[in-house]
Amino acid sequence: MKNFFLGVCVFVGFSANAQDNFAPVFTKINTEVQANAKAYANLKNASETIGHRLTGSANGAKAEEFAFYLLKSYGCDVKYQPFEVESWNRKTIAVKVGPNNNALENVRAVTLAHSPVNAKVNAEIIDVGNGLEADYQPLAEKVKGKIALIYLGILPGSAKGTASLHRSEKTAIAIKYGAVGVIIINTVKNGVLLTGTASVTGKLIPIPAVCIGLESGMQLKEKLKATQQFASIEMTNFSGLIKARNVIATFKGTQFPKEKIVVGGHLDSWDLATGAIDNGIGSFSVIDMARTFKKLGLSTKRTVEFVLFMGEEQGLLGSKAYVADAKKNKTIDQVSFMLNYDMTNDPKGFSTSREEMEPLFTAWGADVAKLDTNFKNLFLAGASLHSDHQPFLLEGVPTGGGAGGKLPNNSGPFYHSDGDTFKLVDEQGMKNTIRNGAILAYALANTPKIPVGKQTEEKLEAFLISQRLKEPLKIAGEWRWKD
């Protein structure tokens, strides 16, 4: 397929340039963002006055209001999109490990989301390596009744080409094989603890799941080679239905108002820190894209919605609610494209699920590169899961966003951890996300014809298989096609 598209790029790229003379507007967007972007200051303010933004908490409600009134202050047409969500909060956790039940010692741990409301498990530990199906198969019934020890990523020395799964998918496999608890080893040095959901559905799981640090986890793996090890996991958590709200700023299209470009980023965060990187840098950049559109009075042929999703961390709950409403209202086919900004920083190009977009994206990117030498006009095509683009992707909607950026100040290791604070944020990196994101949204909303549309069920199935997404979707119970 790649060779085919290289063959047609010259013609289509010329056609795109002939149709789309967006360079003057790109220049205006670039100038406005460089001079007047507010995202960095707004994120600093939110971090200091709100703190974490966990969906269902008082802080989560404050974050929704903060975003709503900020967009309102810019003159945007803004509304809440309420939805009901099963909220989860951690309460108490105690994990002990040792060679027998009389010699257990405390281990620093954090509960993974959607673990049971109450759990008290004492059992032998079994090492299941990377926690993939292939790791369980030789163990057969030996996992049943034990606590599974799982490495979060792919262990050094694993077979070449071994693909990892999300922590929730690894937990689902452990449950399938009869484990009574899960201990996941983080991959980050110096004892950093990671949280995140252990549920593929966003609902409570039947067994407790915790994360421990890399060093203690690898020491435990070594001990298991020599002797049996046991663990005690005790926890209490809260779970219950609450109301949450997506925040949506709408710019109505002038020519194709029922064709819609959705530009989203999740506003919520986990509760261990302030979520400045995940996803303050993305969501507050989306807010500033909307501010830029309003400040410049930009007119678009298609409707553009800037959406701040809640509940992403607890199972893409806000974006699933958005898509469910669109399907119920029979407006899902109006969504022409979804751009997602989740931990996006300093992009060097554009990404999309659909490689057919390469001629247009690189034609627009060539204009961006003239304004910004930092922009390398990279093009990345492919599909992935576990962020707010996923519900759109599974409806066949083309998705995309920034490409080739790097997180600032070595912040990657602090993802989902107690170290995710505002001091990691880079102001210029955010500005680059804003200006390039606003440019891409404007171009998609104004190009005479978007060359890709919503995929049919048959084409979507084949596409997801080609992207190696069948297995994780089956584990999550979201594969709707028959084998």
Q: Which residue from 350, 375, 351 is spatially nearest to 432, judged by alpha carbons?
A: 375
User: What are the C-alpha distances in Å from 294 to residues 67, 246, 251, 362?
Assistant: 15, 20, 9, 26
Question: Where do the CATH 3.50.30.30 domains begin and end in the chain?
Answer: 100-228
Angle at 330 between CA 329 and CA 332, to 5 degrees: 105
End-to-end CA distance of the chain: 25
Q: What is the rounded distance in angstroms from the CA atom of residue 354 to the CA atom of residue 452?
A: 8
Structure tokens at 209: 């799941």
Q: What is the rounded distance in angstroms from the CA atom of residue 96 to the CA atom of residue 370?
A: 58
pTM over 0.85: yes
Tell me which architecture the domain covering 17-86+241-452 has in CATH: 3-Layer(aba) Sandwich (3.40)
**In the prediction, which pLDDT does 431 show?**
98
- CATH T-level topology, domain 100-228: Glucose Oxidase; domain 1 (3.50.30)
CB 135 within 8 A of CB 129: yes
Bridge pairing between strands 230-251 and 77-98: antiparallel
Phi, psi of 482 (to 5 degrees): -80, 145
Q: What is the rounded distance in angstroms from the CA atom of residue 269 to the CA atom of residue 474?
A: 27
Q: What is the rounded distance in angstroms from the CA atom of residue 179 to the CA atom of residue 175?
A: 5
Structure tokens at 253: 């299209």
Question: Where do the CATH 3.40.630.10 domains begin and end in the chain?
Answer: 17-86+241-452
- β-partners of residue 350 are 379, 402
Q: What is the pLDDT of residues 23-33, one digit of tens each?
A: 999 999 999 99
CB 447 within 8 A of CB 360: yes
**In the prediction, which pLDDT does 376 show?**
97
Q: What is the rounded distance in angstroms from the CA atom of residue 47 to the CA atom of residue 41?
A: 10
Q: What is the pLDDT of residues 201-259, one digit of tens each?
A: 888 999 999 999 999 999 999 999 999 999 999 999 999 888 899 999 999 999 999 99
Question: Cβ-count burial of 397 within 10 angstroms (0-12 exposed, 13-18 middle, 19+ buried)?
Answer: buried
Mean per-residue pLDDT, 433-450: 98
